[in-house]
Every structure is written in C-alpha cells, then in structure tokens.
Chain A
Amino acid sequence: MKLDSKIPDGPIEKKWSSHRFNMKLVNPSNRRKYSVIVVGTGLAGASAAASLAELGYKVISISYHESPRRAHSIAAQGGINAPKNYTNDGDSVYRLFYDTLKGGDYRAREANVYRLAEVSGSIIDQCVAQGVPFARDYAGYLDLRSFGGAQVSRTFYARGQTGQQLLLGAYSALSRQIGAGTVKFFDRREMIELVVVDGMARGIICRNLKTGAIESYVADAVVLATGGYANTFYLSTMAKASNATAIWRAYKKGALFANPCFTQIHPTCIPVSGDYQSKLTLMSESLRNDGRIWVPRKSGDSRTPAQIPENERDYYLERLYPSFGNLVPRDVASRRAKEICDKGFGVGKTKMSVYLDFADALKRNGKHWIEEKYGNLFDMYHEITAEDPYADPMRIYPAVHYTMGGLWVDYNLMSTIPGLFVIGEANFSDHGANRLGASALMQGLADGYFILPYTLSDYFARTKFSSLATNHSEFGKANRSAAERLEKLLAIKGKQPVSEIHKKLGKVLWDFVGMGKNEKGLKKALKLIPEIKKEFWSDAKVIGDSDNLNIELEKAGRIADFLELAELLTFDALHRKESCGGHFREECQTPEGEALRNDKKYAYAAAWEFTGDSKEPKLNKEPLTFEYVKPSERSYK
C-alpha cells in the first residue's frame, strides 16, 4: 500500500494556513445533509462532536459510559502546554514544535507537530471562554508551571485536575449541543465493528451494554476518538474499561496500525503492592517540579529515608542530567529508575521503587504552598499507601501510561480507509516515540476543536455519498460477525475468569516488551502470547448471556482484542532494531546508557497492514524527513 501523508507544500509555518485556504468548504445550509459518527467522548471526541455540531453537521456521539464526562481524559492531572510566552521566558511556537519533536526522539512528522504547536494557543483561549477555572496569579492572570523535556514554563493547569476541567469544558460544549438536538448521544454503547461500504467507512455496529442488543449506526463518516491501548499490559494507569476494540476492528477492516510498540512508561506512579491490584495510579509529572528523586548510595540500604544523611543519597537524575535534572522526559526518567532498581538500589518492601522527596520544597515554601499546588495528589498517595508524603518521601516506580502508536492517519487525520478519521490518543501522529508531559491534552483538543472540523468538511465537500440505510448488506454482515464473536466467547465455557488470563498477558508484555526489550525476550514473548491466546479461547470462563448487561462478556471481548494487538505490538518492537524514545532495545544504547537511534534504517513510521488471522502483518513504511530540525542525539545533560 502506498502511504500518502498529504503534507501540504510550502514552509512549515505556512503549511496549515495555506492548507486551510485550499480546502473545500461546505455551504452552511448544506451542512445538515452530512452526518458523522464520533466514537468516544474524551477530550478529542467531545470537542470534535461539539465543534462539528456547531458547524451544522448531524452528529452521532457514542460512549460506553452513561455520560460523556466519564471518559478517561478526566484523569489527566498535570496540565496542558501552549507557547503563550506569558512568562517572558523565551517560548514560541517554534520552540514548542522543537521540544515536542525532539521529545518524540524524531519519530513524528514535522508538519503535524508544527501544526499542533501552532493551534495550541487557541485551545487555552477556548477553554478559558468555556469557564475552565485555570490556576491564576494574584493579578488575576493565568499561572504556569514547567514539565519534563522543556526549559520554559508553558504548562497551564487547574490544580492537579487539569484533565478533568478541560474535559468538563468540552463536555459542557457537547451537552449544549445534545440539549439543542444537534448531537444525538447514545450512552452505554460499545463499538464492536466498523462498517465499510464501497471502500468508505459508513457506519459502526455497537453492543448496547444495557440490553445486549446489537445496533447499527449509519453516517457519511466515522471518527474514532477511542483513546489508547495501554490496558493491553493489564496493569496500567488507564481506566479499567479503556480498550482497543474500536481501533482493532478498524485495523482488521483495513486501517493501518502505526508504531504499535511506542508505549509510554510513566516514571511517577505508585508502585505495585500486591497480586490483587487492578490498576496503577499515576502521580502527576508536575511533582517533579518540586520533588527530588533519589535512592541510597549503598545498595540494599534498609534505613528509613530520614536516617540516610544527604551525602549518602544519590540524586541520580540531577547527577546524570545536570541541566534538566528531575525534569528529564518521561522515557529517560523511567529507564533510569528501572536501571537503578535492577542494580539493587531500589527502596521499599519490594525494592522496586525510588524516592520522590519534597523535604526541600516543604522547607523552602512551607506546607501550605505544597498543599495548594499538589494537595489532592498528596492525599491520594496517602490514601493508597497509608504513608504520609508530608512526613516521608513518596515512593514511585514507572507504569504503562500512554500509547504513542495508533491508527495511521494522514495530515488530515484520515486513516487508510476513506471516511475513517482517527483523533486523539487513538492515532499515531504527533508524539513520535515518546510523548512529553502536558501534550496529550493539547493533542486531543487540537484534533477535536481545530483540526478535524476543517479536514472533515473538506472530505465531505470532495466526496459523493450514495444514500445508505442500515439494511445494506454490509451492515447485515458486520452485524452477524459481531454477534457470532459474542456467542463464540460465551461458548468457551472454560475454567478461568477472563481477568486472570489478561493478567498473564500483562506479565509477559511487562517483562519482555516493557522498559527494556531485547531480541531474545521479544522472540520469547512472540512464542508466549499465542499460547495465552490459545488458553483464552479454550479455557476462559465467560458466564451469563449476551442479551442483557453482562460485565464478564464486555471484559472478554476487550481481552480477545488485546491478545491479538499484543502480538502486533511485540512484532513491531522486534522489527525496530534501534532505541528511540520509550522504545528501548537493550542492544542499541550508547556507552552512557542512552537510547541509540538508527536514523539510516528506521527513520520511518511503521504502518502495519492486516493480512488475515494468523498471518504475518505487512509492513508499510512512511519515511520521515526532517527539513527544519536535524535529528541529533537527544541530550538532556
């Protein structure tokens, strides 16, 4: 398949504006003739659905939740980037573009990243106008903080609940449209099939999670805003229901899946404490603004942190990276934590954690200051661990948190299936091999508010649509295959609860496809994953029926897809014999242990094509060219 990224000509700072001018428009009175299904109501989905409805299109919004506000964007804590330069510290669109591209270790498209930086300022304006209560200084202006991978303060925040407040902003815009009747919202529906008619995405099949009914939805275009697939790893910081089914169904219908192995392991999470654990909890990266990461200099030191004097502590990030210190990007911080724990310097009961210490900040600014800035995070930590972070340092360890990979999209955010658009975390486009902090909120909202409304209009204006109803044979076919899959799951009648099998998959991925990967381990994983898949399809126990609310059936369907995706993810990791960003191949590192890219061989996005069950996927390459920022060793020293 030939991949056309459709990057507009011209200098990078003119690409988006000239592209907007060249796009075809739909006359306002004609817009009501076009319809679109938006799956997912997180930042990307809610902002897109609301903005498209404001333009006059007929919008169908789908969520597996009862309310759009429950989407997992709500859990983002730290903030959102925008190069407003309100702090007069030298920020600019170009600098944000540069930082994001470098942060992604030169594995993202220049043009996309520049556009993201370019529109990000408007996001802040939009959110303020919606009534998002961002943090403010005493003069009443917006306050900022800094995040990893940047030396300027460009991160806007609303306490430790920025994602919540931005999502509630988008949700309020969406609610307004639902109330006005321009968006039809369907709650507790899970997309389980994509419908492609004459080569174009024209609808979806959903399972009504309340009644079990299989329902068909038809439209002129489909937008997937269904988030990432980090839950493939079982333990992650994702919400429990976050899943890959929508993008996986699209992949199996012909959409390419790009860079599946680019997963982000977040450095500051509460460490795993036991087998019962259902998820991991993130502590916002913003904590690294004021917290200092350290371990004892002596391995196996069992003294309490207070008993360890200053000169017997190793503030290893400050030692290794004097200019960025504790604010190195996530991939670097995570890898160093793993390395230092693997060498036996870790702390806590399991010795698999490091200290994040606020003693200096507490001394410098007082408890009240810390409370105001991080109060909810400190409370959360206290509650989960029963340890008081005001008295003792926090203990943290990395956890799977975000997936940079996703469905391949062109500059217009359209996948390889015409009419199927993919936005937010579900696509692969902007973060390369590592996402910088406070960039996920930025990308979700950029796609939904300011990019998709333009590019989708252009698609509508350029495309002829045949009239279509859900009685079309393709809907019938998709409907049947979805129903058959559900029946197949119920018919396994094995002995293990599905979550137990998911746990096994997660362990294999974490051990062999996690922070440190090597050829031997990846090959082993490629042997183990099909075995677990076999175990699932022969020994899973899914009880109940398909014609009512059935929580086990919901889980089983998602896990079945995770099992297939896990194989692709590992396959991609094995093929990419270089280290870049969050993808660390132990064979490829500098003598100092930094990631060693191979630009000659791997400066491309790996877009995988489905060729059939139990067949090897086909690799398509989109070469990445760098006209503005020359790839160099990503140094944070």
Chain B
Amino acid sequence: MTPQPDPTPTTDLPPPSPEQVFREYAPRIYNLARRMLGNDADAEDVTQDVLVQVVRKLHTFRGDAQLPTWLHRVTVNAALAHREKRANRQKRESVTGDDEALEAIAADPPTAGVRLPRPGIEATPDENILAAEQRAVIERAIAKLPEGFREVYVLADVEGLPNAEIADMLNLSVAAVKSRLHRARERMRVLLAPHFEEALT
C-alpha cells in the first residue's frame, strides 16, 4: 500500500514546486531505486512513477520537512512492487537457494592475517573518496546480492537507515533484518576484500 503523506501542515511554507522536487529529489530516488533493483531501466520506471505521485500530491505538503521520509518509503514500496511485477514475467531468483549460497560463503574460513583487531567503521578523512574503479566494484557487488538481501544492504549500509526503520519498511522483524544484513555483508566482504588489499595491509 502506498503510504499517504501526513496532511497536517508542519510549517507555514508553501508546498515545493514540481521543479524543486525534480532538482532536489530525483537523483536520490533514482540512485536508491537503481541499487535496489540492480538495473537502470527499472530504476527509471520507478523514479518516474514516484515523482508523478509526488507531483500529484504536492498540494498536500506544506514545506518539505516530511517529504524526504515519505519519498524514501514510496520509493522502496514502488521498487518492491516493480520487482514483483517483473518476477511475474520471469522466474524469480529463490531467496531460499540464495540463502544457502550465502551460508556457504559465511562458512568459508577467514583468510590468514596478522594484524590487530580494528572493529571501528568510521572513515578517516583521507579515506573519504572512492576511486571510480573502487566505486564500480562496490556497485557491481551490490547488484550481485540476491533479492531479499540487496534491499536490506542498500537501506542499511548505503542509505544509513536504522534496522528498526528498515524492518518497518520491508515488513520484516528486526531480527530478520539483522540476519539478512549480516549475510549480505559477509557476501560483500568476500567480493570486495580482494579489491581493497591496500586498505587492509
């Protein structure tokens, strides 16, 4: 079901114009949809669907404080609905089978190493920019994640949403989100580590 924007005005500002919405939010919606769906054509369809919905409902927004959150939800819902439609046309990848594949990867013994533990995940200032090649490697790895895992990974580790919010959006328990996220990270780890040796040595 498409979430409805809260009709209660949050500010006295006028609603944003279609052009404002297009300039400020279209790239964000497109990037989220592309990563969730794993291809450009589907992301374009979803972006257009979402923005048309927004333009139709612009009069209900007063100011744009509530708009980013609403857009996130609508984009996730539209991407999932689009994927379901696509799945009706082609055999859908089995989450159970992928689950086993992810289990197998997770069970791989860690490779040898000799350094001290560093569990922190904060980037230092000189690590804040990805080279184009590194970026392409990460994007390809995300696209390889099975459906069911990919959207959890994108929402958690790209978009930075809390697990509880992801659970709410995807209609999953928090435990299920954490389990899928952990398995997705393990698969990403296997795919990415060989490309980031410099950062690991």
Bind each other? no
Binding site for B on A (CB under 8 A): none
Binding site for A on B (CB under 8 A): none
